[in-house]
Amino acid sequence: MMLAPHALFLRRWLLQEGTRLFRRKASGSMVLTATLRLPSHANIERDLVRTSSVEYFSTSCVNCAKSRELKGKRDISEKKLTRYFVDHRRVSLTGGKGGKGASTFHSEPRKEFGGPDGGNGGDGGTIIIKVDQQIKSLSLVEPLYRGMDGESGGSKNCYGRNAAHTYIRVPLGTIVKEDGTVVADLSKHGQEYVAAFGGTGGKGNRFFLSNENRAPTKATPGEHGQERVLHLELRTMAHAGMVGFPNAGKSSLLRAISNAKPAVAAYPFTTLNPHVGIVQYQDHEQVAVADIPGIIQGAHRNRGLGISFLRHIERCRFLLFVLDLSGPDPWAQLQDLRFELEQYETGLSKRPQAIVGNKIDLPEARANLSALQSRVPQRIIPVSALTGHNVEELILHLRELYDGYLQTEESAGGQPVRW
């Protein structure tokens, strides 16, 4: 059925006017009622179209689609959101392979013996360990790295492109070990250490051109990159390390003095990985405090969580012995902790330290605090991580230990670690 010319004109004109109006309204789907002005030559009844309805008119396919509700994101537990501090990493490195050389001959009209023109391959990428003072942990270091391969050579004496280097960014004070031997001590910002060299690119047949051999066909493949297994360790994990038995309230205390959010629960061994919190002062100094997972009796024999966490304590400049005042014999806890540290490394328990009595808000803690003070001559700071009682005194004492650490390092000619 053929439509009249004026009907086709009216349909086209309605579509243009509707599109213009909806673009002005910037609306996707609506009901529009408007008075449309028709041209004078349109041969239709004006009264029929004076009030014209365009229902659910849309200019895009997305707006025509059915309305769909956004799916809500699943709630992630605080324990999964927690970022762990990593102070040791085993890394396997493989340098990039060199590109292979090309074996080609020059081809050109009216030039019968063009000769070899195969180019050399590019060198493989080198893996470099670089110090970045903005990085504080080895958590971003992957366990496996492989350098990029070089490009192969081409005809017309085209050499392959050398592969780009791969950089591994590590914090200040990173020690690189291979088979137990220190091969690099990275202590300056921007310092680099070449961990694995890339392979050399292969030679094209142009390289083997000589007076004796005018048409060589030999081309060599690229060499494989260097393969190494290195251990990265941080010399200083944090300024202060919290040492205590499981469920002594170390994680709760770290929450009270810093913005760190380690997992807290009413069962022992809640913390299985070390956490580092930053205590900030008004003069913009920052003291890093590490929450070391709890140790038990016999930890120096690799019992419980074992030697791996004693190694974390070794990388702290001064110690905070956190005792549970609600438990029986808190002085025995202090003796056992010092014994485990001394058995692991001689002199570790004699580093600058502070004794913190936690859970002072519990009823039985008052009596244990008096008994502890009578048996231990050192200063004891009673705090409550739950209520925040006496936390300010602990923060001030932390600053005293930190200032003493700075003076000791500067007098010895060393460079103290600042967070």
DSSP 149: P
Integer Cα distance of 184 and 182 in angstroms:
6
- 359 φψ region: left (φ > 0), alpha (ψ -120 to 50), beta (else): left
Of 322, 324, 320, 321, nearest in space to 364 by CA? 324
Dihedral sign of CA atoms 235, 286, 256, 368 in order? positive
Q: Which two tokens stand for residue 226?
A: 């260097």
- CA–CA separation, 197 and 126 (whole Å): 5
pLDDT digits (tens, 9 = 90+) for 114-159: 889 999 999 999 999 999 988 888 888 999 999 999 999 999 999 9
Query: Can you tell me whether residue 36 is helix, strand or coil?
Result: coil
Q: What's the pTM? A: 0.64
**The two three-digit tokens of residue 54, written as one number:** 């365009």
Per-residue pLDDT of the chain (419 residues; tens, 9 = 90+): 455 666 666 777 777 776 676 565 444 444 444 444 444 444 444 444 444 444 444 445 555 545 555 565 565 454 444 456 788 899 999 999 999 999 999 888 877 778 899 999 999 999 999 999 888 888 889 999 999 999 999 999 999 999 999 999 998 889 999 998 999 989 888 999 999 999 999 999 999 999 989 889 999 999 999 999 999 988 777 899 898 888 888 888 998 998 887 767 665 666 667 788 889 999 889 999 988 876 766 655 555 555 666 777 888 889 999 998 888 888 888 888 888 888 888 888 889 999 999 989 888 888 888 888 888 888 899 999 888 888 999 999 999 999 999 998 888 887 777 77
Neighbours of 354 (CB within 10 A): 19
Sheet holding 286-291: strands in order across? 275-280, 286-291, 238-243, 316-324, 353-358, 380-382
- List Cβ neighbours of 361 (8 Å cut-off, separation of 6 or more): 384, 386, 387, 389
Residues 236 and 311: their CA atoms lie apart, in Å, by 11
Q: What angle do CA 196, 202, 205 make, to 5 degrees?
A: 170
How confident is the model over 187-204, as pLDDT tens digits?
888 999 999 999 999 999
Closest CA to 104 of 181, 25, 216: 216
Answer left, alpha or beta for residue 306, where phi above 0 means left and psi between -120 and 50 means alpha.
left
DSSP 37-102: PPPTT--S-HHHHSSEEEES--SSHHHHSPP-PPPPPPPPPHHHHPPPP--EEEEEEEPPPPPPPP
